[in-house]
Structure 1
Amino acid sequence: MREYASPLSITIPSTGNLTDDVVTNGRDFADTVVFSRRTGDEWSDVTAAEFLDEVQAVAKGLVAAGVEVGHRVAILSKTRYEWTLLDYAIWFAGAVTVPIYETSSAEQIGWILQDSGARAIVAEGPDHLARVREARRSGDLAELQHVWSLQDNAVDVLGRLGSDISDDVLEQRRTAASPQDVATLIYTSGTTGKPKGCMLTHGNFMFELGVAVDELADLFDTDDASTLLFLPLAHVFARIIQVGCVKSRAKMGHSADIKNLVTDLGEFKPTFILAVPRVFEKVFNSASQRATADGRGKIFDRAADVAIAWSRASDGKRVPVRLRAQHALFDRLVYGKLRQALGGSCAYAISGGAPLGDRLGHFYRGIGLTVLEGYGLTETTAALSANLPDATKIGTVGRPLPGTSVRVADDGELLFRGGQVFAGYWRNDEATTEAVDRDGWFHTGDVGEVDDEGFVRITGRKKEILVTAGGKNVAPAVLEDRLRAHALIDQCLVVGDGQPFIGALVTIDRETFPAWAEQHGKTADLDTLIDDPDLVAAVQEAVDEANKAVSKAESIRKFTILPGEWTEEGGQLTPSLKLKRRVVMRESREEIEALYLG
């Protein structure tokens, strides 16, 4: 058993709650711009004083509507300024925020509202309201008393409703919560079974952000620090950045539609961003395909190789002269354009939710964007460990944050202990006991290792380890991550549990496929080319590259290209773009069986 601990480097407050940051900002930094929100075709600044006033007005409306201390209030909306406003208003009213992914089905919405006992919900628009109504018709939501809509001016409605609530009454509500009280119920994405509500306390956030903002001062604590949130705020990853920005007064913006992201980035010009690995994969693959379509594919490929080589060499602090010269040339020809696509001011990115991969980590650092990969779960208020600007080891998820310990169990499972570990699952003591042992160690379900310097490496999911008929243990994530890095491949599922060899199901990226088809003189109709020899050969090249990361016994021997897509809407992906293995295995049972016939 191996263990590593990072000592706590700061003092964590033992009183107060998350609303204190908003009050302090509004009082002591009244004119500081803390948000920039899109209004029409422009971005409008919001000062700390203005944000405090808006939060107090909405919170008074919640109090007037009968929301009591500890009541749960749900938010069902895309990522937008009002989401953050409502989150803090709910806390000011002494209540608990229950985020719901805006893509959730009526059945999923109904389960979360019922299980949490939510008293009110703020939904974004007509489509969201329709799903809430359907959930009400089909489920027992007797405790749900209020439904407001942002498109029906919920913020103004609540502001008017609370006009008679005094400042003293609101202050009593605001200060009612201590670090031990629940701030939010975040429901797991449900890759298996019904989602469980994770109880995250004010203290969990105060611990997490206290150490994270201090350790990531290069991101949060600079004069021009800013970020543009585009991940769902229902996800703990985006939520923790929101709270970190409010705490540090780093300017924050919101981008609700991924279709407008490039434009929004160009206008907002963030100094750091956060994204899941699939976003970084898409950016790389799209750039590669565009270069190929323009006849510059070989130049891009060479530029990518140089960026990766430069990053690897820089770890040793002595980059060869020839490589430096090549890097400087491609910085003018290629890298600068990629940085410009992120707004031109972005120096750092935070990646989480899944492994980024060694190659992409070096590529982005090589073009001038340091991707700080971290690791955590909903149950741990996001990050347990993270690479830092002055302590990065690409291919790992960094060292445990200060005040956090990691232990590798005898079976390889990673266990963590620290102040960010949740208070338990809502109304589910049995699941809580399974997740957190008597000594306070949280069992992550992930398998990994810790090196001599304390850097953590994730190697797979404990429950997803495949055991072949020959008794070989295979972690599918290693192969799947490598395959998804290929421009033509969208998603993949590695199979082989109890089988004589490892196989894979692959879906093709419909964004990059047309350029490949044109380059090879083929129709852009993917469905007619599933068995095309050139397409099969291209996927085989990706499989061969992925197999270099594993032993022969672990390598993919056969694969099948599927005609469809695995999407969140189709139920195969979670909102954070993780593959629901059980769903795909069930839906593709015949294709998997066909891999092993004969």
Structure 2
Amino acid sequence: MSSIPVLLRDRIAATPDAEAYRTPSGDGWSSMSWREVGERVRGLALGLAELGAGPGTRVSILCSTRVEWVLCDLAVLSTGAATTTIYPSNTAAESAFVITDSGSTIVIAENDDQVAKLTSVRKELPDVTNVVVIDGTAGDDGWVITLDSVRGEGDYDAMVDAIGPDAVATLIYTSGTTGRPKGVVLTHDNWLYAAGAVRELGLLSGDDLHFLWLPLSHSFGKLLEVVMIGVGVPTAIDGRLDRIADNLGILQPTFMAAAPRIFEKIHNTVTATQRREGGVKLKIFEWARATGIRVVKARQHGAAIPLTTRLEFAVADRLVFSKLRARFGGRIRFFISGAAPLSQEIAEFFDAAGLTILEGYGLTESSAGSFLSRPGNVKFGTVGLPFPGTKVRIAEDGEILIGGRGIMRGYHDLPAETAEALEDGWLHTGDIGELDAEGRLAITDRKKELIKTSGGKYVAPTYLEGRLKATCPYLSHVFVHGDRRNYCTALVTLDLDVTVPWARSLGLPTDPEELRTHPRMREEVEKAVEQVNAEQASYATIKKFAILAQDFTVEGGELTPSLKVKRKSVEQRYGDTLDAFYQDPV
């Protein structure tokens, strides 16, 4: 296999009339076959080629997750050009940086709002010859044209056949948690390896239905796009976050990938709802949960499950867990979690409910996927075994090093950074981890994010953050602080979708500013902090915390588009609050 467009062409030849994509249409959904996908991609590719797209060129896509993103991406690749991805939440300045740094000459924008963003920085985009708008209007001077107008003529197959496996397919800019974003250069072979490795695992078939909401601007979403073409799995696409729960019930997919925050939110919503209802329902839920976790832990340790426990679990499943599965359509075979660590408590809860989460691990620099838990061989707290063909070793300082065909070519126009990241031919991930006896990888923290207290003790903040979110269902995000300080502290934000109904049921204020300072709200957080602290060494306990009125958001700059906390941004924004924790020593 030489390229992604060849992979697509082979898929069309193999199953031309099978469903490829399903998209929202009015009050329902409409389907597109692989043959129809091929026709759309062919027309767009020849049109983009007439606009100047081709080998050595770049085309940026500034769009949310929708089927047109996939069609445009495949069309760009078919010309021999490379796709540069831009998150729709990026500012005009951030978008301009990616476009100019990548050398993009064409930009595909979702709508008039995104076009306005580009128009505001047009003087900074002298090399952009055209902006192609998906849902919008053409401009008077020809700079902005509509997607429907992009059609051309020519020899599509010859254009595709000219693309080699080492040709650049994608430039994905890292989300910049620690400074200037870097363009990760990934080839067709990088993606074909990763997609082929997933196919080799035998997890999926054409009988599955994939629900995709993840940002296609992110490497995880991009990998899923290529995997589904390779295996021939139909994909329902809808990037609207507020529709995830409803879509699961309507579409009845067999699997879905998500960031841990989505699973945390589902868990917290279910838990808080039961707490709010109280009475017999809460007692049944808590009993079922405890019974399920007991069974899950026994399975994890390979222990025998007594008959009485099995009978209790069957009752718990009928009363509680089966209803949860039904809310998600009743056909989920597994979820996949990536982009950030998943807490063990969340994993156990979903597994008890018959909704196993397969945790995976990879970086943009490794084509998104390098490790994945296998069904029937899930060990919570690990991200599973390496993909077939992926090499791994642990450096002396605990850093995870990865090798193989999925590793990037390098960072665009950054030779020094490339040499540092690919030292000795291994990708230095920046993550700390260890391998168990079976070769499964456990990630303990980020190398550069480990907290070192003034007493010289190392603390893993993401572990504490995950434990707190799993313990208190009212929390949205947690930020643990303490580097070069004499103890650890935390900032927490409230999940208003959960806390407002809870507060209303108790007659508490629902305004975030009033609620965060209310003694009952603080009591709930204190209980969770105390519970988590009881499990930690004294130097790793959280001594003080503050509840913030506003949640961390991508738009506010505290989160990356993959929903990871930008630690430096939070420290800068809430510096006064953090400093105040240490004015009166504990």
Q: Decide: shared fold, TM above 0.5.
A: yes
Ranked by relative contact order (alpha carbons within 8 Å, sequence separation 6 or more), the top structure is: 1
Alpha-carbon distance in structure 2 between the residues aligned to 1:161 and 1:590: 52
Letter aligned with residue 448 of structure 1? G
Equivalent residue, structure 2, for 1:149: 133
The alignment status of 1:581 with 2:567, answered yes or no, reads: yes
Alpha-carbon distance in structure 1 between the residues aligned to 2:377 and 2:259: 21
Provide the secondary structure at the position in 2 that maps to 1:150: strand
Please report the TM-score for the alignment, with normalisation by the length of structure 1.
0.93
The alignment status of 1:162 with 2:130, answered yes or no, reads: no
| Per-residue deviation, 1:302 | 2.5
Alpha-carbon distance in structure 2 between the residues aligned to 1:480 and 1:349: 22
Alpha-carbon distance in structure 2 between the residues aligned to 1:456 and 1:547: 26
Equivalent residue, structure 2, for 1:286: 269
| Per-residue deviation, 1:157 | 5.3
Q: Cα deviations across residues 9-35 of structure 1 (Å, max 9, x unaligned)?
A: xxxx5xx11111211122232111122
Q: Contact (CA 8 Å) 1:69, 1:173: kept in 2 or not?
A: no
Q: 1:321 to 1:515 in 2, by over 3 A?
A: farther
Provide the secondary structure at the position in 2 that maps to 1:388: coil
Q: Contact (CA 8 Å) 2:272, 2:474: kept in 1 or not?
A: no
Letter aligned with residue 311 of structure 2? A
Which of 50-59 and 399-408 deviates more?
399-408
Equivalent residue, structure 1, for 2:141: none
What does 1:198-217 correspond to in 2, within 5 Å? Answer: 198-215=184-201, 217=202
Alpha-carbon distance in structure 2 between the residues aligned to 1:294 and 1:568: 32
Alpha-carbon distance in structure 2 between the residues aligned to 1:413 and 1:470: 23
Q: Contact (CA 8 Å) 2:193, 2:405: kept in 1 or not?
A: yes
| Per-residue deviation, 1:595 | 0.7
The alignment status of 1:252 with 2:238, answered yes or no, reads: no
Q: 1:142 to 1:454 in 2, by over 3 A?
A: same
Equivalent residue, structure 2, for 1:57: 43
What does 1:184-263 correspond to in 2, within 5 Å? Answer: 184-215=170-201, 217-218=202-203, 220-221=204-205, 223-263=206-246
The alignment status of 1:398 with 2:384, answered yes or no, reads: yes
The alignment status of 1:271 with 2:254, answered yes or no, reads: yes
| Per-residue deviation, 1:161 | 4.4
Q: 1:153 to 1:390 in 2, by over 3 A?
A: farther
What does 1:409-420 correspond to in 2, within 5 Å? Answer: 409-420=395-406
Q: Cα deviations across residues 570-597 of structure 1 (Å, max 9, x unaligned)?
A: 1111111100100110111111111111
Which of 419-428 and 381-390 deviates more?
381-390
One of 357, 360, 363 as aligned partner of 1:377: 363
Letter aligned with residue 548 of structure 2? L
Alpha-carbon distance in structure 1 between the residues aligned to 2:419 and 2:136: 43
Equivalent residue, structure 2, for 1:353: 339
One of 73, 89, 98 as aligned partner of 2:84: 98
Alpha-carbon distance in structure 2 between the residues aligned to 1:271 and 1:153: 38
What does 1:60-79 correspond to in 2, within 5 Å? Answer: 60-79=46-65
Q: 1:478 to 1:548 in 2, by over 3 A?
A: farther
Q: Cα deviations across residues 146-197 of structure 1 (Å, max 9, x unaligned)?
A: 101111389995565434x22x2x2222122211111000010111212111
RMSD: 1.8
The alignment status of 1:503 with 2:489, answered yes or no, reads: yes
Q: 1:158 to 1:502 in 2, by over 3 A?
A: closer
Q: Contact (CA 8 Å) 1:63, 1:162: kept in 2 or not?
A: no
The alignment status of 1:307 with 2:292, answered yes or no, reads: yes
Provide the secondary structure at the position in 1 that maps to 2:434: strand
Alpha-carbon distance in structure 2 between the residues aligned to 1:338 and 1:187: 37
Alpha-carbon distance in structure 2 between the residues aligned to 1:526 and 1:103: 24
| Per-residue deviation, 1:549 | 4.3
Provide the secondary structure at the position in 1 that maps to 2:60: strand
Provide the secondary structure at the position in 2 that maps to 1:300: helix
Alpha-carbon distance in structure 2 between the residues aligned to 1:234 and 1:474: 32
Q: Contact (CA 8 Å) 1:289, 1:297: kept in 2 or not?
A: no
Alpha-carbon distance in structure 2 between the residues aligned to 1:507 and 1:548: 22
Equivalent residue, structure 2, for 1:321: 307
Which of 292-301 and 275-284 deviates more?
292-301
Equivalent residue, structure 2, for 1:174: 160
One of 482, 490, 504 as aligned partner of 2:467: 482
Equivalent residue, structure 1, for 2:120: 134
Alpha-carbon distance in structure 1 between the residues aligned to 2:57 and 2:403: 29
Q: Contact (CA 8 Å) 2:131, 2:145: kept in 1 or not?
A: no
| Per-residue deviation, 1:42 | 2.4
| Per-residue deviation, 1:122 | 1.0
Q: Contact (CA 8 Å) 1:364, 1:370: kept in 2 or not?
A: yes
| Per-residue deviation, 1:522 | 1.5
Equivalent residue, structure 1, for 2:102: 116
Alpha-carbon distance in structure 2 between the residues aligned to 1:159 and 1:527: 47
Provide the secondary structure at the position in 1 that maps to 2:388: coil
Q: Cα deviations across residues 489-522 of structure 1 (Å, max 9, x unaligned)?
A: 1111111112221111112221111233234431
Q: 1:302 to 1:130 in 2, by over 3 A?
A: farther
Q: Cα deviations across residues 276-330 of structure 1 (Å, max 9, x unaligned)?
A: 0000000010111222223333332322222222222223263222222222122
What does 1:447-462 correspond to in 2, within 5 Å? Answer: 447-462=432-447
Q: Contact (CA 8 Å) 1:61, 1:158: kept in 2 or not?
A: no
Which of 328-337 and 55-64 deviates more?
328-337
Q: Contact (CA 8 Å) 2:23, 2:238: kept in 1 or not?
A: no
Q: Cα deviations across residues 57-100 of structure 1 (Å, max 9, x unaligned)?
A: 11011011121212111111111111111111111111101111
Alpha-carbon distance in structure 1 between the residues aligned to 2:557 and 2:148: 38
Alpha-carbon distance in structure 2 between the residues aligned to 1:499 and 1:193: 23
Q: Contact (CA 8 Å) 1:61, 1:159: kept in 2 or not?
A: no
| Per-residue deviation, 1:541 | 1.4
Alpha-carbon distance in structure 1 between the residues aligned to 2:511 and 2:232: 49
Q: Contact (CA 8 Å) 1:57, 1:159: kept in 2 or not?
A: no
Query: How many residue pairs get matched?
Result: 575
Letter aligned with residue 274 of structure 1? A
**Runs (5+) with no aligned partner, structure 1:** 1-12
Identical aligned residues as a percent: 37
Equivalent residue, structure 2, for 1:42: 28
Please report the TM-score for the alignment, with normalisation by the length of structure 2.
0.95
Q: Contact (CA 8 Å) 2:212, 2:236: kept in 1 or not?
A: yes
| Per-residue deviation, 1:538 | 1.1
**Runs (5+) with no aligned partner, structure 2:** 139-143
